[in-house]
Amino acid sequence: MLVSFMIGAIGLDVAAYPIALPALTRAIGPSPLPLLLDFAAGLAALGFLVLGYVEFWSIIERSFSLRLLIDLSEAPEGLTREQIAKSYSGGRGVRWLMEKRVGDLVGSGLVQKTDGGLRLTLRGRVVGVVFRFPRRAFLMP
């Protein structure tokens, strides 16, 4: 999804550049950069904005602790474990969370579903080994 979003954003930038350049030149003056470098800088800025948005959304979307805080803020009287399990993420529940996370892992090719549960793919094994090193290096449980 991110790749198609980035390709769409680049396409939009390419299409809008010939229109935006004269308008911006009139509004703020000509760029001191050569035309190709100016275009590349615009693409880079767009890329950084998209990546920033994606990272921000990822933090909001995937943060179990943040989602839990939001749910608790909507219930000032507090929630029991059972209520949290049922009401997590606007009533979708913890089961939904697990299904979504597993679906994301399957979709990215890191795991595959088997009759007995989940199994790492070669790609998942490589990612697991790579990220095992920093975890051990920083003495994380």
Report angle CA 94, 3, 6 to the nearest 5 degrees. 115
Q: What string of pLDDT tens digits covers the 141 residues of the chain?
A: 556 777 787 788 788 888 888 898 899 998 888 988 988 888 888 888 877 877 776 676 667 777 778 888 888 888 888 888 888 777 888 888 888 888 988 999 999 999 889 999 999 999 888 888 777 777 766
47: how many CB neighbours lie within 10 A of its CB? 14
What pTM was estimated for this model as a whole?
A: 0.48
